[in-house]
Structure 1
Amino acid sequence: MKHLNEFADRRKAAAEAKQLLLKKFEKAPKPTDPEMQAKRAEREAIAAARAARQAERERIKQEERDRKLAEAAAVSEAAEAAAKALQAESSNRIARVIADEAERKAERDRRYAARKARQR
């Protein structure tokens, strides 16, 4: 019988613990309580502010990316323009060298013709 009493005591203690838990949950504020609604509104306001800050950070990041892309495009255009200018200068220099060479050859041919004319 001793075991039977221990079992009954344990069952009784478990039932009392369950009753205490139920009372605890009954005392807990309901979702319709003004206090709970105020807390919910506060949490929603905090979440909205957090979302606004996140959107602002994303906007700033996007502006920074756009600025960097614009800078890179400007640098690329400047480098391309410099390369074209260098190529044009190089082509101009080559043209001058060819013209100078043709002029020297014409002068040499003129001197040769004058020398031959004097010999006859």
Structure 2
Amino acid sequence: MVSYKQPSFEERLELARLAKQKALDKLKAKPPVDPAVLAKRKAAAEAKEAAAAEARRLKIAAREQEKAAKREADEARAAAKAAAPALDAAQQKAARDARYAARKQRKG
């Protein structure tokens, strides 16, 4: 039985050169691209990019609108809080006592 023979450096170089030449020949054998097909591809790519840009623009606009709505809600909440009359200590104590009495009554 014959054992495996390691290829020499020169043999490896020759194999690499042949592989490169084969790949180059395969690339050169490819027919040239038709200009009409190339123009169609370019138009399709531009249309796709335009659609993506429009989607990004709409997404940004929606995000800005959402931020504005949240800001308005926060301002309305702050205005309502500021407009509500502040209870003094006696009123707070009376409200707390009423909650306590209601809880005691529920528990029995």
Please give the range of the TM-score, normalised by the shorter of the 2 chains.
0.5 to 0.7
* Matched AA of 2:69: R
Of 39, 42, 48 in structure 2, the residue corresponding to residue 40 of structure 1 is 42
**Residue 54 of structure 1: aligned partner:** 56
* Matched AA of 1:45: A
Q: 1 CA distance for matches of 2:68 and 2:57?
A: 16
Give the structure-1-normalised TM-score: 0.50
RMSD: 3.1
The Cα shift of 1:37 comes to 3.0
Q: List gaps (5 residues or longer) in structure 1.
A: 1-6, 91-120
Inter-CA distance 16–67: structure 2 relative to 1 (3 Å threshold): same
The Cα shift of 1:14 comes to 4.4
Instruction: Percent identity, please.
Output: 26
- Higher RCO, 1 or 2 (CA under 8 Å, sep at least 6)? 1
The Cα shift of 1:40 comes to 2.6
The Cα shift of 1:44 comes to 2.1
Q: List gaps (5 residues or longer) in structure 2.
A: 1-9, 89-108
Give the structure-2-normalised TM-score: 0.55
Q: 1 CA distance for matches of 2:32 and 2:54?
A: 30
Structure 1 residues 99-118: aligned runs within 5 Å: none
Q: 1 CA distance for matches of 2:31 and 2:53?
A: 30
Q: 2 CA distance for matches of 1:22 and 1:71?
A: 66
**Residue 74 of structure 2: aligned partner:** 72
Q: 1 CA distance for matches of 2:35 and 2:27?
A: 14
Inter-CA distance 29–57: structure 2 relative to 1 (3 Å threshold): farther
Indicate the structure with greater helix content.
1
Q: 2 CA distance for matches of 1:25 and 1:33?
A: 19
